[in-house]
Amino acid sequence: MKNLARYIVKDTKPNQFNISRNGQFIIQRKIFSDIYPDFPDLITFKLYIYLCRSYEWRYQRVKKAKSEMQQDLNLNRSQLNNALGWLEAHYFIERTNSHKQQMFQAELLTAPDYDPYTNTYISCKSIAFHTSELKQRNQGYIMLPADAVTNIMLENTSTSNRIWTYAKLKVYLLLYGNCWLSYFGGVNPDSVRIESNSIHVEPSFYYNVKKSEKQVVKTIELLISIDLFKVVKVGFIKGEYIGDSLVIPKCNGLKEHFVLRPYHLSEKKVKDKKLDNIRGCMIL
């Protein structure tokens, strides 16, 4: 990226990132795998993300009128029903009501396993869709601030589908999946390495996107250029993140790296106790 330097955070002024108070939602990691098949089309994938974002933890289900889904995602009723039908038939969701006069309600299920030899999805419904249960059963997930994914990204329009392709959405979500503020101050530099004028991505990352490193780097450059990620110089001592380079003092043993930091950050993550000793040394 020839003009990467222009996107590096250059001062310590506050409010350079959106600390989101609008809650979080999860996307399960297993759907981002080189052996896990893609959803049948972009509409179904975007709808699944939309349902994940719309999940109400209090009721442990999605409660949305189909007319609202259609309006939010620019879908006709046939497109919506086909996508919902596929998700239910393949064990991603389970409808909890069927009355036509009621709004659509469905549980999100733990994403199914996939058998590549028989080309079949295997239900994981027995694993409760709850963060504690998912952790206990080694069902990894990506936690995202709700502000990070907008209806504009997910709607079925020519502009949205050109900018937010299946691969670009996967890259975007996986960057969040590799972001640990308390350990790296952003995206793990072993996963995405930022140098003065170049970006390098570890093989497992682009294998899971099912694209080449060059294609993934191009998407990351786009995400930086539209301000969804900022480049921040951070400091480590003995492999431990101690804060952002513009804030911390220079000292012996200090090693500095550039990392990607998402523009949208969850308030819950920023206020995590693990950041109590570092937060004051971070540009937020």
Q: Could you read off the pLDDT of 119-139 as tens digits, one per residue?
A: 999 999 999 999 999 989 989
Tell the residue number behind the tokens 């589908």, with chain if given: 161
pLDDT score of 100 more than 80: no
- For 62-219, strand residue ranges (E) read 62-64, 93-95, 104-108, 113-115, 120-122, 141-145, 179-180, 186-187, 192-194, 199-201
Nearest partner of 170 among 210, 130, 121, judged by Cα: 210
Per-residue pLDDT, averaged over 41-65, amounts to 95
**Element of type H or E holding 20:** strand 18-20
Task: Give the model confidence (pLDDT) of 151-196 as tens digits.
Answer: 999 999 999 999 999 999 999 999 999 999 999 999 999 999 999 7
Say if pTM beats, i.e. exceeds, 0.85.
yes
Nearest partner of 256 among 270, 266, 242, judged by Cα: 242
Confidence at residue 102, expressed as pLDDT on a 0 to 100 scale = 78
The SS3 call for residue 273 is helix
